[in-house]
């Protein structure tokens, strides 16, 4: 099974870098995405916000992202906490799509 999400979005909110008890840096943020897609041959407008987190070395890159700038985020979905029903997007890679 594969759990991978690739999303072009903008960081619209970001918390300060915090550290786990083991000293690993973490940044929580909120991403905004808007697009037009086709579903069953019918055009559909998708506009969403998604909670996301960057852990480790990626947290510094995420903390430096300009708010509102578009990036291509790659990562996976996982429960926010053990046994939780809500999901959070764990970012493992980001690319500035203006440079692609």
Residue positions counted in the chain:
100
pLDDT-derived band at 82 (thresholds 50, 70, 90) equals confident
- Which residue segment(s) compose the domain that 62 sits in? 5-99
Check which CATH number belongs to the domain holding 15 and give it.
Answer: 2.40.50.140
pLDDT-derived band at 99 (thresholds 50, 70, 90) equals low
Decide if pLDDT at 52 tops 80: yes
Residue 80 is given by DSSP the state S
Q: What is the pLDDT of residue 97?
A: 83
Q: What is the pLDDT of residue 83?
A: 86
pTM of this prediction?
A: 0.90
With beta carbons less than 8 A apart as the criterion, state whether 53 and 26 touch: yes
Of all helices (H) and strands (E), which one includes residue 72? strand 70-79
With beta carbons less than 8 A apart as the criterion, state whether 94 and 60 touch: no
CA distances (Å), 57 to each of 25, 42, 78, 94, in order?
Answer: 7, 41, 19, 12
Number of independent structural domains in the chain: 1
- Which runs of consecutive H residues, i.e. helices, occur in the chain? 57-64
Residue 81 is given by DSSP the state S
Return the number of other C-beta atoms located less than 10 Å from residue 9's C-beta: 23
Averaged pLDDT, 60-86: 93
Averaged pLDDT, 38-66: 95
Decide if pLDDT at 5 tops 80: yes
Q: What is the pLDDT of residue 100?
A: 52
């Amino acid at each position: 099974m594969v759990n991978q999400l690739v999303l072009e979005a903008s960081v619209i909110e970001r918390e300060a870098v915090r550290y786990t008890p083991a000293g690993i840096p973490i940044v929580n943020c909120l991403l905004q995405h808007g697009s037009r897609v086709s579903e069953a041959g019918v055009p559909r407008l998708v506009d969403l916000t998604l909670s996301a987190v960057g852990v480790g070395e990626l947290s510094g890159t995420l903390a430096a992202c300009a708010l509102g700038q578009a990036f291509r985020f790659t990562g996976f979905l996982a429960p926010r906490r053990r046994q939780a029903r809500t999901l959070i997007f764990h970012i493992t890679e980001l690319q500035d799509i203006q440079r692609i």
